[in-house]
A and B are shown apart, each in its own frame.
Chain A
Amino acid sequence: MKTSRTSLILVNGTVILLAAIWTIPTLGLFITSFRTKAAISDSGWWTVFTHPGGFSLDNYNNVIFGGDGLGTAFLNTLAVTIPAVVIPILIAAFAAYGFAWMSFPGKKILFITVVALLVVPLQISLIPILKAYLAVSLNGTFLAIWLAHAGFGLALATYLLYNYISQLPKDILESAYIDGASHFQTFTRLILPLSTPALASFAIFQFLWVWNDLLVAQTFLGTNKDVAVMTSRLLNIVGSRGQDWQLLTAGAFVSMLVPVAVFLALQRFFVRGMMAGSVKG
């Protein structure tokens, strides 16, 4: 391919410019999170390149261990996210196997119902489920939000895992049955390990979805500091002290740490997970 020198410079210049535009806002946040309160309000973060100084780790100390309790919120987010990822995957994998490799009356219509439920936006469920939760005082518990996330992610998970599991070679399963394996044994020892790529893709999508979610957490877990997740706490700081940038910048960074690390470590699965998740309602 023949490309002239000038067009090559033009292309490289444009992509570098775009990458810079994309990165500078985050960089500004990152630098600001290490500046003292006085330094932040006295000068823009870009002045640190010409006048270094005014750095401190206090912001992180204050936001994690201080009254805003982002440390607690971090643990809450973990406690919400891990089961809210594993539970729907496990349930969906069982269901996907059932739909793919077992026969029972009404199978087709039930599966079509599952796929049809993909279009339902979760907003439609908030009020009825909240009412049901309040009736059995389940609201504000981890169980409540695990099940809610499971419910909202399950249609997609079942659909994706069905697509994968139903395509596994029939001979492998048949030889397992001939060897006397039950469905349960076939599923746990054969299907689950074979489905790792599909499970991982969905896991990353669901992980990101739950970790970054605001609406579901705000509705079913609430803003009580004991249980609130990081997105809820950050929204609270924005609402009450929107100019306290020393807290907001450090807090936002704490909340991004895990998903960005997962992104950098598992980029390939990450891309697949995002593609798979493109049909979430």
Chain B
Amino acid sequence: MDAITVEALTKRYGDTLAVDNIAFAVAPGATIGLLGGNGAGKTTTISMLLGLLVPTAGRITVLGHDMATDRFAALARMNFSSPYVALPHRLTVGENLRVYAHLYNIRHTERRIAELADQLNLGALLNRPAGELSAGQKTRVALAKSLINRPDVLLLDEPTASLDPDTGDLVRTWLERYRAESGCAILLASHNMAEVERLCDHVLMMKQGRIVDRGSPADLLERYGRDTLEAVFLDIARGTGEAA
């Protein structure tokens, strides 16, 4: 059974078609990249997968649960990270993680927080207010929050945006390790093409709310006759290239 199944998914805001009849599936242990320019429909798609947004049409199933009728059962086994959604700034890192450990009903809260602190090098930050952290530290904390419930499905919206190369690499390495250890399915929306090439087994290219192409990074490079995924992305975004 696929971890995520999306069928004929559509989202319309008045006259604007934000997501137009898309379909895809994510197998357990796979990482799928969701690529596209600004306004392509990536964040709208992720919001619908998380139950934050009600689709106009179509069906989403996560871990066997229909998100229209049974989303809380799925949400307990999912998680999400985005640099555009903050954690309360006045609370310390430890307090923030404790809040989410309660919300996800995690047993042995302190042990889980200590594990994550150890794995993501957060030990020295646990007693610092979240608002006083650097962008890189905040991203690591957000990642710790998104892993607090050992999710089977992880949705990441630009997880390494505004990170320096070192911290970005640390995050990517950690995601590879977590996926290998847990069999978690990951859906990754990113503008970092090198990151997508490194992490993703399969890529969905979105434009104006539609999936206009899909395939493994190697397939796409070959089909468009390009050396980098960034060149493929530009071909699709600008309509300057065609797949062979």
The answer on A and B forming one complex is no
